[in-house]
Structure 1
Amino acid sequence: MKMVFRWYGEGNDTVTLEQIKHIPGVEGIVWALHHLPAGAEWPMADILAYKELVEPYGFHLEVVESVNVHEDIKLGLPSRDLYIENYKRTIERLAKVGAKVICYNFMPVFDWVRTDLFKELEDGSTAMFYEKLKVDAMNPLELVAKINENPEFTMPGWEPERLKHLSSVFDAYREVTEEDLWNNLQYFLEQIIPVAELNGIKMAIHPDDPPWSIFGLPKIMTGADSIRRLLKLVDNPYNGVTLCSGSLSARPDNNIAAMVREFADRIPFAHIRNIRLYENGDFIETSHKASDGTVDICDIVKAYHENGFTGYVRPDHGRHIWGEQCRPGYGLYDRALGIMYLWGIWDSLERSKRGTM
């Protein structure tokens, strides 16, 4: 497996490239041009500027997260063709700097939902938390205000420019069913995947977070059945999945290790993180240590190892520990600890395979 680390860019992240360089085994930066709105064509000058910033530290730029999909594509509006053409040109430009994977999602309106970005855990650390009853009773505009209480950083999927038209976007989705969303995803993939294949870039869809409908919006990437359907929409190795253990594990019937074993050859990129799931549907993000949550991180890593996984992995979200003031879920310390936990499991499996334990 190839270890990578998500970085939001200079001036938009409390973590530095120099600090990331100190984490053993990290070889690449997971990146994006966060100042551009969804649907924009990425300028080559901006891409090259990012490359020049990262290259001196020895990191590659092989994983891009995310090239966001414009809402008109998800809604299936006539204007989607313009945004799809922009997407194609962006793919072509990203290939010029060595990109191999693009992580994206097809979630209506919100890329992710939490009700508390800094919920305190028993040990005094804080983490992102989802309270089901609160979401069920909440007006989406309240949620937008809460998420954007932290104005120092861009919050991907929660950009104020996009969400200021929230009411009209919700109106547009009022008649959109899950089948409509599937059809619109197929239309997008049928045009994008040939361009991605030609440029050697694998498209890897991220599951819905959380994996169920909220605020009446359709959700389609929620478990193994939906992954099977996705892979058949355009049956091509360049149509794949970013398998996120945290997002999918919010549904107790999702077995992530089983998904790894079934879909390993179509997972170019993986997010590995832990959550603690409560019986009432709430969940909170925890350390990567398996016993701290309800996700069997050990078996997930074992499943990747069994399949000779050579794709990209990142530790995904972490807690906020040791007084670190950082972007919610994206500090340095707990993600670095998570990386070392994952390497520890992987190294043990390697030694066992060689019979040296």
Structure 2
Amino acid sequence: MKESWRWYGPLDKILLGEIAQTGATGIVTALHEVPYGEVWQRETIASRKADIEAAGFDWVVVESLPIHERIKRNEGDLSGLFANYRQSMANLAAEGIYTICYNFMPLLDWTRTDLAAPVARGGSCLRFSAPKMAALELFMLGRDAARNDYLPEVITEAERWFQASSDDERAVLMNSVMAGLPGAYERYDADGLKTALKLYEGIDRTALRGHMQRFLEEVVPAAEELGMRFCVHPDDPPRDILGLPRIVSDADDIGWLLEAVDSPANGLTLCAGSLGANPKNDVPAIARRFASRIHFAHLRNVKKDADGSFEEAAHLTGDTDMVDLVAALLQEEQRRRDAGDSAWEIPFRPDHGHELLDDASRNTHPGYPLVGRMRGLAELRGVIAGLSYAGTAAS
């Protein structure tokens, strides 16, 4: 497996020279400064790639080439946006970059309510609190329909938190929910979020699936011609929020989208944390079921609560059996090698991570600390080495 690291380019507080000291050899990044819908120019791609290679890395995955919200809403004449997207793909392929991770989450990317929840032995983690999210939906946004989305006891706790909270605490909650948006774009306040949500009125799960299928039909044939691999990132959290449908949350969803445009170029980013936050998901089983279509992996872990809350756990100590999951990925790599597949290696990155030691002083992108991810990478490297040795010894 290819050890990789997410880097936010010039926006990142962590330098490539520091990443080199983690032992990772691949970089996962994007042109976060380019507005959604515009073409990624080949010259800009080449320049970013040259910086990465000069530091001793390969640019192994684009994460992500974002999808304009109008495409997700299937709004108006989309021919120009699709043409721009395909041109960006062609420009990436011309520079030797062939794997694109993307998501189809409406409006928001990953969503958390707390960016620095304390962990038992020091440090902090990302957390999704169902009561806080319910408080935002019901009492800050006035979305009364959200009462159908939460347990009664969660709503009771949400109202208690809201009544006790200050304006500053509510602002921190809104900022935390907005923090998952990538790049350097303006975040929403409560009024702005209400306005943005209105644009999705009437778009239910069935409609959004249709919009996603249209997107795939527009780009997967181009990916096939270019020799590229698309890999969808599951929803995070894997549940509807803010009244917005989420359609990549479990094995059934994944099966649907891979069959909607049935091509090896239409694949999966196996995100252990996103899938692991859904209590019904058996993540190693999902990995084995869809192994041949996994083009990229995010390895992290979560610990779930009964009320729908969850938080980022250490990479080896959450609810998902990480050793079994890594074993599934190594088995798939071996199958590809045996079949003579030149693209047998699965790039992975240690996703998220606890803020440890001096991480908090760096003010990095939430969830992407240096020390915490380096700890995760070291633990995963040990698992991979142990499983690989055991396999060699057994043979």
TM over 0.5: yes
- Maintained 8 Å contact 1:243/1:269: yes
Give the Å deviation of 1:157.
7.3
- Maintained 8 Å contact 2:114/2:176: no
One of 188, 200, 206 as aligned partner of 2:227: 200
2:337 aligned with 1:308: no
Q: Deviations over 1:44-103 (max 9, x none)?
A: 222122112111122111200011100110111123222111100000001122112101
Judged with a 3 Å threshold, the aligned counterparts in structure 2 of structure 1 residues 147 and 267 are, in CA distance, closer, same or farther, namely farther
Partner of 2:378: 340
Partner of 1:62: 60
- Maintained 8 Å contact 2:110/2:180: no
- Maintained 8 Å contact 1:287/1:319: yes
Give the Å deviation of 1:295.
1.6
Instruction: Report the AA paired with residue 277 of structure 1.
Output: K
1:1-357 to 2 correspondences below 5 Å:
1-10=1-10, 12-24=11-23, 26-139=24-137, 146=173, 148=175, 155-156=181-182, 159-160=185-186, 165-289=192-316, 292-308=317-333, 310-324=345-359, 325=362, 326-355=364-393
Instruction: Report the AA paired with residue 82 of structure 2.
Output: I
Give the Å deviation of 1:112.
1.4
Alpha-carbon distance in structure 2 between the residues aligned to 1:237 and 1:123: 44
- Maintained 8 Å contact 1:144/1:158: no
Instruction: Report the AA paired with residue 320 of structure 1.
Output: E
Instruction: Report the AA paired with residue 330 of structure 2.
Output: H
Judged with a 3 Å threshold, the aligned counterparts in structure 2 of structure 1 residues 162 and 283 are, in CA distance, closer, same or farther, namely closer
**Higher alpha-carbon deviation: 52-61 or 302-311:** 302-311
**SS of alignment partner, residue 199 of structure 2:** helix
Judged with a 3 Å threshold, the aligned counterparts in structure 2 of structure 1 residues 230 and 302 are, in CA distance, closer, same or farther, namely same
Give the Å deviation of 1:158.
8.3
**SS of alignment partner, residue 311 of structure 2:** strand
Instruction: Report the AA paired with residue 19 of structure 1.
Output: E
Alpha-carbon distance in structure 2 between the residues aligned to 1:168 and 1:46: 34
Alpha-carbon distance in structure 1 between the residues aligned to 2:220 and 2:132: 39
Aligned residues: 352
**SS of alignment partner, residue 81 of structure 2:** helix
- Maintained 8 Å contact 1:111/1:157: no
Instruction: Report the AA paired with residue 234 of structure 2.
Output: P
**SS of alignment partner, residue 127 of structure 2:** strand
Name the TM-score, length of structure 1 as normaliser.
Answer: 0.93
Alpha-carbon distance in structure 2 between the residues aligned to 1:158 and 1:217: 23
Structure number with the higher helix fraction is: 2
**SS of alignment partner, residue 307 of structure 1:** helix
Unaligned runs of 5+ in 1: none
Give the Å deviation of 1:136.
1.7
Q: Which has the larger radius of gyration?
A: 2
Alpha-carbon distance in structure 2 between the residues aligned to 1:73 and 1:6: 26
Give the Å deviation of 1:20.
1.2
Alpha-carbon distance in structure 1 between the residues aligned to 2:180 and 2:88: 21
**SS of alignment partner, residue 308 of structure 1:** helix
**SS of alignment partner, residue 377 of structure 2:** helix
Unaligned runs of 5+ in 2: 142-168, 335-344
- Maintained 8 Å contact 1:298/1:345: yes
Identity score, percent: 38
